[in-house]
Amino acid sequence: MTVLEALLRGVRPHEGAVLRARLGPDEEYTVPVGSPLVLCGVLAGEVVAEGGALAPGGMAMVQPGPSVTVRAGDGGASLIICGYRTRTGGTRLTSALPAIAVVAAEDPDCVTLLELLDRGGGGPAPVRDRLLDWLLSCTLHAWFERRAPERPGWFTALADPVVGPALEALHADPARRWTVEELAARGGSGRAAFAKRFRELVGDAPLAYLRSWRMTLAAEYLADPEVTVGAVARRVGYSDAFTFSAAFKRERGVAPSTVRA
């Protein structure tokens, strides 16, 4: 599991939030933002969004805030608007994005996905949701690849031969009792060089990053009333609820029970 895949777990399709819009020549359309994250994709035609022209497959990622108005070209345009809800883990991803992010049409898969969604989502709700996951993943990859100066540290670190393998290991098994030496060995590095490189790219020491990610996951798990605090503690690497609760309060400033309430 890559870091991006792990963060995408906290961003899920908003049930029923797939809209279609057909615009006439030069018609303007204000993108409805009724979800924490909205994708507006060009299915056919061309639109101007945030000063740039978007062809089929072009996307605009929009978060609540200033309204976004697009204008169709001379031949009109067809749009697909998809809503996504966020959980605790997802806010780490959305905070790495500007309020409005426009992505030019570069991935032919985006057009195919938009066409499938236009035809009813490709089938039952679970199939539609996977299509929406794929569409968001393609759009995010395109955005971060093109915007090198704006990439969050964890995204840049994924491609690093020393830090990348360690990040993926942490996200694949956050409950494990990792040591810096074990993580360094994942990238074939010594402990000191690895720790320095990790902090430079990610912005945190390796074990501090792990602790923060564990608490992000824990807050997500605590949202499920069927899961006990003890079970959450074990999922994120703590042997008992008391130790976990103390660590959670140090990291988040509130007790797990407060989050659950």
Question: Which runs of E-coded beta strand occur in 65-153?
Answer: 69-86, 100-103
Q: Do 215 and 240 fall into the same domain?
A: yes
CATH of the domain at 32: 2.60.120.280
Domain count, the chain: 2
Q: Of 82, 117, 150, which marks where a domain is finished?
A: 150
Q: Do 236 and 197 fall into the same domain?
A: yes
pLDDT of residue 41: 94
pLDDT grade, residue 1 (50/70/90)? Answer: very low
* Domain extent for 252: 156-260
Q: Do 62 and 137 fall into the same domain?
A: yes
Q: Of 150, 178, 204, which marks where a domain is finished?
A: 150
Q: Tell me: pLDDT of 28 over 90.
A: yes
Q: Do 169 and 112 fall into the same domain?
A: no
Q: Do 138 and 194 fall into the same domain?
A: no
Q: Do 133 and 13 fall into the same domain?
A: yes
Q: Of 97, 122, 150, which marks where a domain is finished?
A: 150
Compute the residue count for the chain: 261
CA-based nearest residue to 49, from 68, 25, 24, 26: 68
Cα 157 to Cα 204: distance, rounded to the nearest angstrom? 12
SS3 102: strand
Q: Are 84 and 13 in contact (CB under 8 A)?
A: yes
The H or E element spanning position 183 is helix 180-186
pLDDT tens for 119-140 read 875 567 778 888 888 899 888 8
Mean pLDDT of 221-243: 91
CATH of the domain at 230: 1.10.10.60
pLDDT grade, residue 151 (50/70/90)? Answer: low
Q: Do 106 and 179 fall into the same domain?
A: no
pLDDT grade, residue 248 (50/70/90)? Answer: very high
Q: Do 114 and 232 fall into the same domain?
A: no
Q: Do 125 and 205 fall into the same domain?
A: no
Please give the backbone phi and psi of residue 184, each rounded to the nearest 5 degrees, phi first. Answer: -60, -40
pLDDT tens for 171-207 read 889 999 999 999 999 999 999 999 999 999 988 999 9
CA-based nearest residue to 214, from 185, 175, 182, 253: 175
What percent of the chain clears pLDDT 70, i.e. is strictly above it? Answer: 91
Q: Do 59 and 40 fall into the same domain?
A: yes
Q: Do 58 and 184 fall into the same domain?
A: no
